[in-house]
Structure formats: C-alpha cells, structure tokens
Structure 1
Amino acid sequence: MIRALTAFLLVLSLLPAPAAAWGRLGHRLVASLARDGMTPAARAAALQLLEGEPEPTLAGIASWADDLRDNDPDLGKRTSKWHYVNIAEDGCVYEQTRHCRNGDCVVEAIRAQTAILADTKRPKAERLQALKFVVHFVGDVHQPLHAGYGHDKGGNDFQVNLDGITPNGGGSNLHSLWDSGMLKNTGLDEPAYLARLRALPAPTLTPGKPLPPQSVVWAEASCAIVRRTGLYPARAKIGPDYLQAWRPVAEAQLRLAGAELAATLNAALVRR
C-alpha cells in the first residue's frame, strides 16, 4: 500500500500544465528516436540549421513550440491551434474545411512547416523555425488526445483521480495523465527511457512518400486510439491497472512518432 501510494503521488506531482503533448520528456524522446533514423546527410543538414542554439540537437529544440507561451506570447497565441485537431466526434475522418479552417491545426501545420523546411531558397532563420515546429508537431499528432474530442478539449476537461489520491485534495485530467504522468511514473530518466523505447520493435511506417507528410493518416490513427474502449475510464477513479494497460500504447506512439519524424526530415532536408 505504501509503495502504491508513493507511486500515485509521484505521478500527480509530475503532471504538467494541460497543453503540452507528451511533456518535455516525451518530446525529447521522439526527437532522439528521430535522430537514430536520420541519414548522415540529413543529420548534417539539421546540424547546420541548429548552429547557435543553446542545445544544438533535435532534442534540444523539441519543446520550443510549447515554450513560446512564455518566451514569445504573441507567436505562441498565433500558433496555439497548430498543436491539435479535433476529429473524434466525426468518426476520426479528417476534413480540412470542417476541422482546420485557415490551416490552424496540427495536420496542416505539419504540412506547411515541412514545406518551409524543405525550401532551401528560404532564409536559414525561417527554416530553423520550421524545423522546430516540425519536430514538435510530429510528436504532438502522435499523442492520441491531440487528435481527440473537441467537447472536452482533448481530455483536458475529463477529470481523473488516481485511486482517490491527489495532492492537496485536487484532481487531474486525462490529457495530463497521457502527456507525462504515465511516462514519469516509471521512474526512468531520459537515457533509460530512450533505451527502453529503442528496444521496442521497429514500427511500420505510413505507406507513401514522406513528402508531403502523411499527417492526415497520423491524426486519424491517433484518433482511433482515443475511441478505443477503456481509454476514457468508466469512472473518475483509476488505479495502476489503467497505467499498465495504456502505457505500452503511449510508448508505441512515441516510437512511431520518432520513426515518422525521421522519414520526414530525411526527405525535407536532403532533396534530390
């Protein structure tokens, strides 16, 4: 009982604010997995763009798009809708005119920013910013609740209580649990978690050419996970059985996101 109580308190103490898919750890893991799958030429091109960054790696820029809320509030506000798309109410079938007016959703943001990244005639600063967006948004679209229901803001309004144990009598929400709680509950640090994900079977990538990115397919597949029985628990109180059932799904999505990001960057950074 004491061990279980400690684990639940750990989860809840680590749950982030509700807007950042996967949280900082998850985004860094996706970026590091992507680097594994990049060609030497694509890695070199990425490093050229990253010169001068505080941490000039894909992992180092992976959470930049979330950090805009504090570092550049105007750009953060203008791009806030680029992190998600709500399609679960419509059977997980994406329609641009219905779900993404003016290109303001993660599906079209990935397409637009990848095109900017691939255009070598654009200034380096524009391409670097596009790289930062692409690395982040490919991670976002593979977090199931970023392609979920609009009525509860992707699970942000769906309250959960881990076995009734919450700090200071407060609760949490399903989106936050998926963002970081399930990952950090393992107690693994970043290198150990990266090794864990690398040990998973190589995922099957989306058929078709990497450019334009298959972001519609990614979003619809993530949405299908949201609609699986049990992802939304029948009761607000959930226990370790929920974490045991759904953490492997989250980890498989992280692994897939890394592989799809690698394929996208390989195509965008080394044009033939």
Structure 2
Amino acid sequence: MALAAAPAQAWGPRGHRLVAELAAGALSPEVRAEVDALLRNEPDPTLPGIATWADELRAKDPDLGRASAPWHYVNLAESGCSYVASRDCPDGDCVVEAIRSQAGILADRARPAHQRLQALKFVVHFVGDVHQPMHAGYARDKGGNTVQLSIPDGSRDGRGSNLHALWDSGLFDSRNESHSRQLARLRALPSSAGETADPADAARWAEESCRIVRREGVYPTRARIDPAYYTAWRPVAEQQLVHAGRRLASLLEHALGD
C-alpha cells in the first residue's frame, strides 16, 4: 500500500479560512476599519482572503517562503510542552516568536503600509498554525508528517496520508459538511480561550497545543484510521479552531485598537 506524505500546512485552506472568519466576525467596528484599510488593494480584501497567503509563499515568493518556513511551528513535545525561548527558538525562527514579532510590526503605525499588511497576513496565518496541535509537537516525526496512515475512502486499502495531514483537514473533510454550516456551528461553540490576548500569549497557546499532541490516543495504535478516531478527536480539533478565531480577534484588537 502506497502512503503519501503531505506538506505541513496547518488546518489546510478550509481551517485557516474558518479561523479568519471567526475572528472577523468578532472585531470591533474601529479595528475592522483598520483591517479593511490595510487590505483594500488585495484581490480578496478580507481576513479569510489572506488566511492561506503564508502557505502560498513557496510558489509566489520562494525567498520569503524559505525564510519564513520555520515560523509555522515549534517543537515542544520532546521537552514536556514547556516553551523555553533559548532552547526551542534560539534564533527567533518559530511560530511563537513570529507571532510576537509580526504583531509588533502590525501595531507600529510608523511602519510603511506594505510592511504592516504583510505582518497582518502572517499574524492571521500563524495564530491558526499555533493552534494546530501537530505544529507544536515532536521534532522526531516532523509534527506527525512521517507517521503514515490509511484513511478510509471506500477502497479496500484506503487512502494514504499521515497524522499531520489528518489533523490539517482530514478530521473535517470526513464529515461532508458545507463550509457555511460548519462555520455557523463553530460560532455557537463555547470557548474558554478568554476575552483578551496579546502577543506574549503565543507561548501558552503553543504549550496548550503540545499537550493535546501528548494525550493518549492522538497517535493511533494502528495505521488504518477508524470512525472512533474521528468521534474522539474532531471535537478537539474544532475547539482549537474556535480558540484560534477568538484569540486572533483579540490579538488584532490589541495591535490595532486605540
């Protein structure tokens, strides 16, 4: 059975758009106006419209794509999920420090508009990334990318995938639910994420994601995924999307509010 590895993209396009839509719906009018002004010349001038930009850099801007590649994740699981910057991100090249630095650029009104726009694109994407548990997981398996799985698809052997890809999108795709219906359902979910967030909180978010990775059952005991896995872990993944959306909104309020 051939099992293909997928690239490390947190949540996939659908998940990133959901996070951005959840955040957009929670912005104050004043901050929404700030966001709209930064996005006014974009092809899709909305937060969902820029949500996957950082994953598209490898094709659109290879140099920036290579430079920013380490900013999508941080490996904490081997060290017990406790973030220590000097150990886990010594050069500032990880998702925790990327959120902090890009949020600082976004908040600096003395910066040129194009720099603040790029920072907004990074912040929207990286807040989603840090809430995808595999992006704060084990270095030894590249955040689940080398853990090969078979996903049921009606064929005898199933479809080849890996644990990272399953958490990116497979948990959601299996539900066969429309985007609009899923968004409405997520908006109705409660969240313990809190009402305020600032860039300093990014380390705590990564630690929370890492603790999910280390929970019993996240790493399946068999290569073939069964329905019980979706039942157990889809609600956890969806709760992470909700946390990400609400925290992103609060972070934008912190960066762009008065």
TM-score tier (shorter):
over 0.9
> Which residue in 2 is equivalent to 1:90?
79
Counterpart contact for 2:151–2:159, Cα < 8 Å: no
**Cα contact 1:164–1:237 (8 A) shared by 2:** no
**d(CA) in 2 for partners of 1:43, 1:172:** 38
Residue 31 (structure 1) aligned to one of 2, 17, 20: 20
Change in Cα spacing, 1:34 to 1:244, as seen in structure 2 (3 Å) is same
Q: CA 1:166/1:98 → structure 2, altered by over 3 Å: closer, same or farther?
A: farther
Cα distance, 1:171 vs. partner?
Answer: 2.0
Q: Which residue of 1 aligns with 2:105?
A: 116
1:140-151 equivalences under 5 Å are 140-151=129-140
Out of 188, 198, 212, the residue aligned to residue 225 of structure 1 is 212
How far off its partner does 1:170 sit? 5.9
* Corresponding residue number in structure 1 for 2:243: 256
1:266 correspondence with 2:253: yes
Partner of 2:48: 59
The one-letter code matched in structure 1 to 2:130 is V
CA contact (8 A) 2:6 2:145 kept: no
Checking the alignment, whether the CA contact within 8 Å between 2:6 and 2:162 is kept in structure 1 is: no
| Structure 2 unpaired stretches of 5+ | none
Q: Within the alignment, does 1:205 sit opposite 2:193 as a pair?
A: yes
Task: Identify if the C-alpha distance between structure 1 residues 206 and 103 changes in structure 2 by more than 3 Å, giving closer, same or farther.
Answer: farther
Aligned to 1:159: 148
Shift of 1:211: 2.9
Once residues 225 and 129 of structure 1 are traced to their aligned partners in structure 2, the CA distance between those partners, rounded to angstroms, is 30
Residue 206 of structure 1 contacts residue 214 of structure 1 at CA under 8 Å; is this kept in 2? no
SS of equivalent to 1:111:
helix
Rate the CA distance shift 1:80–1:36 in 2: closer, same or farther, 3 A.
same
Match of 2:150, SS state, is strand
Q: Give the whole-Å Cα distance in 2 for the aligned partners of 1:214 and 1:220.
A: 10
**Per-residue CA distance 1:200-254 (angstroms, 9 max, x = gap):** 11x12358x6333400000000000000000001111220110111000000000
TM-aligned CA distance change 1:258 to 1:170, over 3 Å: closer
CA distance in 2, matches of 1:251, 1:169: 24
CA apart distance, 1:190: 1.7
Contact kept, 8 Å, 2:24 with 2:249, in 1: the verdict is yes
**Amino acid in structure 2 at the alignment position of 1:248:** P
* C-alpha separation in 2, matches of 1:83 and 1:145: 11
Note closer, same or farther for the CA distance 1:166–1:172 as it changes in structure 2 (3 Å cut).
farther
Query: Which of 209, 212, 216 does residue 203 from structure 2 map onto?
Result: 216
Contact 1:88–1:147 (Cα < 8 Å) also in 2: yes
Matched, 1:77 2:66: yes
Give me the whole-angstrom Cα distance separating, in 2, the residues matched to 1:238 and 1:16.
16
- Counterparts of 1:168 and 1:211 in 2: how far apart (Å)? 46
> What is the SS of the residue equivalent to 1:160?
strand
Deviation at 1:169, TM superposition (A): 7.3
Q: Aligned pairs, how many?
A: 256
- 1:244 pairs, out of 222, 231, 235, with 231
TM-score (norm 2): 0.94
**TM-score in terms of structure 1 length:** 0.89
1:17–1:164 Cα change, 3 Å: closer
Contact 1:213–1:264 (CA under 8 A) maintained in structure 2: no
Q: Is the 8 A contact 1:116 1:126 kept in 2?
A: yes
Q: Gapped runs of 5+ residues in structure 1?
A: 1-11
